[in-house]
């Protein structure tokens, strides 16, 4: 046994998957996929092969390319809580691949099956997948770890009148109800993605567009109109977009994330489609993953900052290039504030757990949600020290050198020394580097982003809290200014202040999920029952964890029972609990 990743049964000494051929029928009645997966190996081989599965029913296993009898015995070991069940196969010598016929479970952790009533259209059911971090194994038996990359082909059959999409290139198919796909670039398993429902396409630009239910497609394409421009500026900064098209699939509101960077097709929450483009940094984030994460990938979940820290940095550069420096600084300040507030009260020991150094070996799922921010802060700091003239070509060189590879923090640090620190000595010290890479917390010498507009907001909030005078000019505030106003407000406010603010600015019932999250957190912590009906509506309609978990936490902190919690669909709660908070 030579397990290379604590979150997978994959064994380094065994054959490695080079490509996958997937044939699946989507069965909405039973809520299962009836499927056949053929894994082709990088080189012919034999002997033991261990694959990751979770809740799969295995019907048959066959060797491909070997001379001996095709049908193979196999053992599906008892499931372990985190890893799932090891599928052990003994391959005859000279096998070029293995074919597995199987069915998924209605409870497959990666698959969310929605009844028609849970969709915008209300007529057709809907299916979408979320494979990150280690859920791909619940719909494909595979070596499920970011260190193994493969290309794939897929044929998906859906009921008449429905459309299937995958995070891959579409291939023409003349058969009704049959959709074909091809992913020619090697991807890690967590980027496998599928969806099916009543979907239509609305173009944005030459290389980009939106897939969504008909009710949503046009609105989303308008909200995301700057996608093409985002692609252009990122290519200018960090090299070519290597995936062909970039489309967005807008999902029903129960999707647990803001976005998931599935290659060629970001899966996105509808909670950012609000009509004023103020929350489209989610698109910048997911697009940035086309470089950091999808192109250059963390070798294991321990190194997640290589995906998320780099992406948060690139996201901010895209936002700055498209929407201006002031907007970008506000976004950075909001993220830094959230991190610092969370970290400030911690002891050094707690800090080492909550925000360890970037070079860190950890328990299951690798990281806390604050780790990537430290990574992004580190890159901004390097940029500041070396200037963009030096740092931008360095980063572009990093993406070029490691394109379509999975690497770890050591690989990055070696590259950093060779291509940035050594050619430019005396810009940063070893102590400074060690503070970022190995020590807990945010280094004391790291400067915080300062937004002039936020200083105005801070003064307005202080005055309001002191005197009850409502913030002047707030009706013209951007989303980000409102977020700042609420972020730095006390957790608990008096009913009088809450009522006054709500009457003036209509925060209760806002369509803006980010504002709603902050507002309802205060509402919940303050037990301000006048807003409970709308808060319940928000909590039961939205599945995006980032928006609803803080509100539930605030509710849990009060001593009042809250009936709406019972109204959340059990499936949604399960997906919230099982999906680790790795992405937006
Ligand atoms: Zn991300």
User: What integer is the mean pLDDT of 5-20?
Assistant: 94
Report whether pLDDT(573) > 50. no
Task: Tell me the per-residue pLDDT of 455-506, one tens digit each, with 9 for 90 and over.
Answer: 999 999 999 999 999 999 999 999 999 999 999 999 999 999 999 999 999 9
Which sign, positive or negative, has the C-alpha torsion 320, 322, 327, 332?
negative
Report whether pLDDT(554) > 60. yes
Q: Could you tell me the distance, in angstroms and rounded to a whole number, from the CA of residue 256 to the centre of ligand 1?
A: 13
Alpha helices in 188-303 (DSSP H): 214-223, 227-238, 281-288
Q: Could you tell me the distance, in angstroms and rounded to a whole number, from the CA of residue 584 to the centre of ligand 1?
A: 6
Least confident of 326-330, 372-376, 574-578: 574-578
Q: Could you tell me the distance, in angstroms and rounded to a whole number, from the CA of residue 462 to the centre of ligand 1?
A: 34
Q: Could you tell me the distance, in angstroms and rounded to a whole number, from the CA of residue 293 to the centre of ligand 1?
A: 8
What backbone phi and psi angles, to 5 degrees, belong to 157?
A: -105, 130
Q: Could you tell me the distance, in angstroms and rounded to a whole number, from the CA of residue 349 to the centre of ligand 1?
A: 27
CA within 13 Å, CB half, 440: 16
Helix pair angle (281-288, 227-238), 10° resolution: 40
Q: Could you tell me the distance, in angstroms and rounded to a whole number, from the CA of residue 583 to the centre of ligand 1?
A: 4
The fraction of the chain above a pLDDT of 70, given in percent, is 93
Report whether pLDDT(584) > 70. no
**Two structure tokens written together for 567:** 């109204």
Kindly tell me the burial class for residue 378, based on how many C-beta atoms sit within 10 Å of its own C-beta (0-12, 13-18, 19 or more): buried
Q: Could you tell me the distance, in angstroms and rounded to a whole number, from the CA of residue 282 to the centre of ligand 1?
A: 9
Report whether pLDDT(389) > 90. yes
Q: Could you tell me the distance, in angstroms and rounded to a whole number, from the CA of residue 289 to the centre of ligand 1?
A: 7
Contact at 8 Å (CB) between 11 and 51? Answer: no
Q: Could you tell me the distance, in angstroms and rounded to a whole number, from the CA of residue 250 to the centre of ligand 1?
A: 16
Task: Tell me the per-residue pLDDT of 294-305, one tens digit each, with 9 for 90 and over.
Answer: 999 999 888 889
Report whether pLDDT(90) > 50. yes
The pLDDT value given to residue 574? 37
Helix (H, G, I), strand (E, B) or coil at 180: strand
**Two structure tokens written together for 77:** 């070991």
Kindly tell me the burial class for residue 84, based on how many C-beta atoms sit within 10 Å of its own C-beta (0-12, 13-18, 19 or more): buried
User: What integer is the mean pLDDT of 263-277?
Assistant: 96
Average pLDDT of every residue of the chain: 92
Q: Could you tell me the distance, in angstroms and rounded to a whole number, from the CA of residue 260 to the centre of ligand 1?
A: 7
- Interacting residues of 467 by C-beta distance below 8 A, sequence separation 6+: none
Q: How confident is the model at residue 348 (pLDDT cuts 50, 70, 90)?
A: confident
The pLDDT value given to residue 505? 97
Q: How confident is the model at residue 338 (pLDDT cuts 50, 70, 90)?
A: confident
User: What integer is the mean pLDDT of 519-541?
Assistant: 96
Task: Tell me the per-residue pLDDT of 562-572, one tens digit each, with 9 for 90 and over.
Answer: 544 444 443 44
The pLDDT value given to residue 570? 38
Q: Could you tell me the distance, in angstroms and rounded to a whole number, from the CA of residue 556 to the centre of ligand 1?
A: 28
Task: Tell me the per-residue pLDDT of 25-82, one tens digit each, with 9 for 90 and over.
Answer: 999 999 999 999 999 999 999 999 999 999 999 999 999 998 766 799 999 999 998 8
Q: Could you tell me the distance, in angstroms and rounded to a whole number, from the CA of residue 258 to the centre of ligand 1?
A: 9
Residue 209 to residues 232, 248, 264: CA-CA distances in angstroms?
A: 15, 6, 10
Task: Tell me the per-residue pLDDT of 197-215, one tens digit each, with 9 for 90 and over.
Answer: 999 999 999 999 999 999 9
Q: Could you tell me the distance, in angstroms and rounded to a whole number, from the CA of residue 566 to the centre of ligand 1?
A: 30
């Amino acid at each position: 046994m030579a397990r290379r990743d604590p979150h997978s049964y994959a064994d380094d000494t065994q054959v490695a998957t080079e490509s996958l051929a997937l044939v699946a029928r989507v069965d909405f009645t039973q809520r299962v996929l009836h499927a056949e997966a053929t894994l082709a190996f990088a080189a012919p081989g034999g002997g033991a092969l261990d694959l990751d599965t979770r809740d799969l029913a295995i019907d048959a296993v066959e060797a491909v390319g070997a001379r001996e009898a095709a049908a193979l015995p196999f053992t599906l070991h008892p499931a372990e809580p985190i890893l799932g069940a090891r599928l052990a196969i003994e391959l005859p010598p000279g096998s070029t691949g293995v074919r597995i016929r199987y069915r998924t479970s209605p409870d497959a952790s990666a698959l969310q099956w929605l009844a028609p009533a849970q969709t915008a259209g209300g007529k057709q059911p809907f299916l979408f997948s979320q494979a990150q971090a280690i859920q791909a194994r619940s719909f494909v038996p595979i070596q499920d770890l970011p260190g193994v990359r493969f290309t794939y082909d897929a044929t998906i059959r859906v009921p008449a009148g429905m459309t299937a999409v995958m995070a891959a290139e579409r291939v023409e198919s003349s058969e009704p109800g049959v959709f074909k796909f091809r992913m020619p670039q090697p991807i890690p398993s967590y980027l496998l993605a599928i969806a099916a429902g009543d979907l239509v396409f609305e173009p944005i630009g030459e290389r980009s567009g939106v897939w969504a239910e008909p009710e949503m497609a046009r609105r989303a394409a308008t909200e995301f109109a700057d996608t093409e421009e985002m692609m252009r500026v990122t290519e200018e900064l960090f090299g070519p977009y290597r995936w062909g098209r970039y489309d967005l699939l807008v999902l029903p509101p129960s999707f647990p994330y803001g976005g998931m960077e599935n290659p060629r097709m970001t899966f996105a929450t509808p909670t950012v489609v609000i009509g004023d483009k103020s929350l489209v940094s989610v698109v910048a984030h997911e697009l940035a993953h086309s470089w950091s994460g999808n192109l250059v990938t963390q070798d294991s979940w321990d190194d997640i900052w290589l995906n998320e820290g780099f992406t948060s940095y690139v996201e901010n550069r895209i936002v700055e290039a498209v929407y201006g420096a002031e907007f970008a600084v506000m976004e950075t300040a909001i993220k830094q504030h959230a991190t610092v507030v969370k970290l400030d009260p911690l002891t050094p020991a707690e800090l080492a757990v909550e925000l360890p150094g970037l070079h860190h070996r950890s328990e299951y799922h690798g990281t806390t949600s604050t780790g990537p921010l430290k990574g992004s802060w580190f890159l901004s700091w390097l940029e500041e020290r070396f200037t963009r003239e030096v740092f931008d070509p360095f980063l572009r060189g990093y993406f070029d050198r490691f394109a379509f590879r999975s690497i770890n923090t050591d690989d990055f640090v070696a590259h950093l020394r060779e291509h940035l620190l050594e050619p430019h000595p005396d810009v940063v010290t070893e102590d400074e580097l060690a503070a970022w890479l190995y020590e807990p917390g945010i280094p004391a010498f790291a400067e915080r982003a300062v937004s002039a507009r936020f200083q105005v907001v801070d003064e307005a909030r202080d005055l309001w809290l002191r005197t009850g005078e409502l913030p002047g000019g707030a009706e013209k505030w951007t989303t980000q200014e409102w977020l700042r106003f609420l972020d730095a407000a006390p957790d608990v406010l008096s009913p009088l202040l809450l009522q006054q603010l709500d009457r003036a600015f209509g925060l209760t019932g806002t369509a803006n999920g980010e504002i709603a999250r902050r507002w309802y957190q205060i509402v919940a912590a303050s037990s301000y029952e006048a807003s409970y009906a709308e808060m319940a509506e928000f909590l039961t309609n939205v599945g995006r964890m980032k928006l609803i978990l803080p509100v539930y936490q605030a509710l849990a902190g009060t001593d009042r029972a809250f009936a709406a919690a019972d109204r959340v669909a059990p499936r949604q709660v399960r997906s919230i609990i099982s999906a680790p908070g790795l992405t937006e």
